[in-house]
Amino acid sequence: MFGILAPHLKEFTDDLSDEIKYQKIKHGVKDVKEFLEKLANRGKVDPLSNDFAKYLDENDKLKYLRYEFTIPKARDIVSDGVEALSPEDDSVYFCGNSLGLMPRRTRDLVNQELDVWASSGVVGHFKHKHKRPWISIEDNVIDKMAEIVGAKPIEVAVMNTLTSNLHLLMASFYTPTTKKNRKKILIEPMAFPSDLYAVESQIRFHGLDPAKELIKVTPPEGENVVPLDNILKIIEKEGHTISLVLFSGVHYYTGQFFKIKKITEAAQKKGCIVGLDLSHAVGNVVLKLHKWGVDFAAWCSYKYLNSGPGGIAGIFLHERHANDFNRPRFAGWWGSDRGTRFQVDQQFKPIPGAGGFQVSNPSVLNMVSLIASLELFSKTSMVHLRAKSILLTGYLEYLLDKQVNGLGFKIISPRDPHQRGCQLSLKFLDKNVRDKVSRELMSYGIVIDERDDTIRVAPTPMYNNFSEVFKFVKALKIIMSDLGIKK
C-alpha cells in the first residue's frame, strides 16, 4: 500500500527503512476518514462507491498474497439450508481473528512429511530429503517468528499450545513473596477465559486466594475500551504489591491494541514482571518485544499466523533472562542441549534462552503447517501488512459510519487506528437482532465471529481486500433494512 500512501505522507519514499515508514504512517495517518477521502479525490472516484473499493484494490501491492490462500466458496460455508446469493463465489472471510485461512502450500508440505515418514521412519529425524530433519525442525521457523514479534532468535521458541505455554511461563515468573507482600497479578478487563483460568490456577498453586490477589483493570462505566491512563494509575498505586502484570497485546473482544511499551515501562519501574498473551496481536500488529523489554510472552499461531486449527504455539523470553537457570521451570528433554539430548547419562543441560523452555519434541505436521504460512510472511513485512491493515479496517469503519451508522449497533473498538488491530467489534443493542444478523450474513457467504451481543469483523490484510469490505457493508445495510431496523 505504500505506493498509494506516499503522496500523502511527507518525504515518504520507497528507500526508507521499514521502521521509518512505520513511524511516518503512525504520525501521518491520524484520521483514516480524512485520509481515505484524499485517496478518493486523487483517484477521482466517489469514496462510497464500489469503484473506490476497486481503486484501492488495484493499488494494493500486497494483493498477490490473497492467491496464496485457499478461500472457501460461499456454497461451502452456508448453513441451515440458506442459499448463498452467489454460491460459486468466494466467501467473504472476516474471521481470521478466530482461525486463519489455509495457505495453498500447506497441503504440499504436510504431504511431504507423510512421504518422509512412510519411506524413512525414524531415520527422518536425521536424514530428510527436503532438508528438514525432525531433530531440528524448529530451526525452520525461529528466525522468521522472531522477526514477526520483534525479537532475537534466542528469545523465541515454537512449542506446545497457548495456555500450556502460559502455565509454563507463569510457573517460572509468578513468584509471589509474602515477606514483601508482592503477591498480586494485574490483568486486563474481560480477560480471555482461558487466561483467567490459568492466572487463577497459578495463584491457587501458591496457596493464595484469587479473590484477594487478582486485580482487574476495568473500563469507565458504559465503555469497553480502557484508557492507558487508567492502567498506569493502577500500576502506580498498586505496583508495590503486584508480582505479575499479564495483558494481551490486542484484546480479543474489543480489538484494542494496548500500549505495551508504556505499560511495560511503568510496571517494571515498580518491580513487576510483565507477561503478554499475543494471540490476537502476532501477525496482526507491529511488535517490538525485545526493544520494549517485555519479560515473557506467549501466543497461538492459528489466527493471523494461519497454521491451522490447534496449530503449534510460540513463546518469547527476553534475552536478559536467557541464562537464568535458577528460576523454577518444568523442564523437558527438548529443552536440553541438542548435542547431548540423546545420551543416556541423565545430565540435563538446558538450552539458553526461550529454547530451554521446550518440553517435548514438536509435532512435525503442525510445524510444517506453520512453515507454509511463514513463507508468505517472508514475502513482505509486518510494517507493509500493518499499513494495509490500517487502511482496510479504516475503510470498513468509514463505510459503516456513512452507510449504516446507528442501525441498532455501535462500534466498540477504538476509533484511533493505531490503538486497534484489524478488528472492529459491533455491539448490538438487542442480542436477538445480533443472532439474526449473523445468520443472514452467512447466507450472503460472509463469515464473521460472534461473542455474546457482539459480532467481530476482522478484515485480514494477508488475504482480504477492499471490495470484500464493500460487499460486507452493503449486505449488512440490506439485512438491517429487511429486519425493519432504521435510524
Check which CATH number belongs to the domain holding 309 and give it. 3.40.640.10
Is the pLDDT reported for residue 484 higher than 90? no
- Give the Cβ contact number of residue 167 at 10 Å: 18
The more confidently predicted of residues 222 and 110 is 110
Is the pLDDT reported for residue 2 higher than 60? no
Supply the range of the domain harboring residue 232. Answer: 110-378
pLDDT in tens, 235-288: 999 999 999 999 999 999 999 999 999 999 999 999 999 999 999 999 999 999
Nearest to 445 by CA among 85, 66, 99: 85
Q: Is there a domain that residue 278 lies in?
A: yes
Is the pLDDT reported for residue 374 higher than 80? yes
| Contacting residues for 292 by C-beta, under 8 A, at least 6 apart | 150, 260, 261, 264
* Neighbour-count burial for 105-139, b at 16+ CB within 10 Å, e otherwise: bbeebbeebeebeeeeeeebbeebeeebbbbebbe
pLDDT in tens, 297-324: 999 999 999 999 999 999 999 999 999 9
Is the pLDDT reported for residue 148 higher than 60? yes
302 is in an annotated binding site: yes
- Residue 81 pLDDT: 55
Q: What are phi and psi of 270, to 5 degrees?
A: -90, 5
Q: Which amino acid is at 357?
A: F
User: What is the Cα–Cα distance from 281 to 78, expressed in whole angstroms?
Assistant: 29
Last residue of a domain, one of 340, 363, 378: 378
Is the pLDDT reported for residue 114 higher than 80? yes
Total tally of structural domains belonging to the chain: 2
Is the pLDDT reported for residue 344 higher than 80? no
pLDDT above 70 coverage of the chain, percent: 92
User: What is the Cα–Cα distance from 118 to 113, expressed in whole angstroms?
Assistant: 8
- Residue 362 pLDDT: 95
194 is in an annotated binding site: yes
134 is in an annotated binding site: no
- Residue 89 pLDDT: 86
- Kind of pairing between the strands at 102-103 and 184-187: unpaired
Cβ-contact 359, 335 below 8 angstroms: yes
DSSP H or E run through 384: helix 382-403
115 is in an annotated binding site: no
Last residue of a domain, one of 378, 393, 426: 378
Considering the domain architecture, whether residues 411 and 352 belong to the same structural domain is answered as no
- Residue 403 pLDDT: 93
Instruction: Rank 113-122, 223-232, 435-444 by mean pLDDT and report only the highest.
Output: 113-122
Considering the domain architecture, whether residues 372 and 397 belong to the same structural domain is answered as no
Considering the domain architecture, whether residues 347 and 390 belong to the same structural domain is answered as no
- Residue 16 pLDDT: 59
Average pLDDT over residues 50-56: 96
Q: Is there a domain that residue 9 lies in?
A: no
- Residue 338 pLDDT: 86
User: What is the Cα–Cα distance from 462 to 377, expressed in whole angstroms?
Assistant: 9
Is the pLDDT reported for residue 118 higher than 90? yes
Is the pLDDT reported for residue 222 higher than 90? no
391 is in an annotated binding site: no
Q: Mean pLDDT for the chain?
A: 92
195 is in an annotated binding site: yes
The more confidently predicted of residues 6 and 364 is 364
Average pLDDT over residues 14-39: 75
Considering the domain architecture, whether residues 86 and 135 belong to the same structural domain is answered as no
Q: Which amino acid is at 168?
A: L
CATH code, domain carrying 45? 3.90.1150.10
Confidence of residue 28 (pLDDT cuts 50, 70, 90): low
| Contacting residues for 165 by C-beta, under 8 A, at least 6 apart | 159, 298, 313, 314, 315, 357
- Give the Cβ contact number of residue 274 at 10 Å: 24
393 is in an annotated binding site: no
Cα dist. 453→209, 430, 464 in Å? 31, 7, 25
Cell numbers describing residue 469: 469490505
Cβ-contact 186, 235 below 8 angstroms: yes
49 is in an annotated binding site: no
248 is in an annotated binding site: yes
The more confidently predicted of residues 431 and 295 is 295
Last residue of a domain, one of 324, 349, 378: 378
361 is in an annotated binding site: yes
Average pLDDT over residues 434-447: 92
Confidence of residue 6 (pLDDT cuts 50, 70, 90): low
pLDDT in tens, 173-204: 999 986 678 999 999 878 999 999 999 999 99
| Contacting residues for 443 by C-beta, under 8 A, at least 6 apart | 78, 82, 83, 84, 85
Of 14-28, 100-114, 296-310, where does mean pLDDT reach its minimum? 14-28
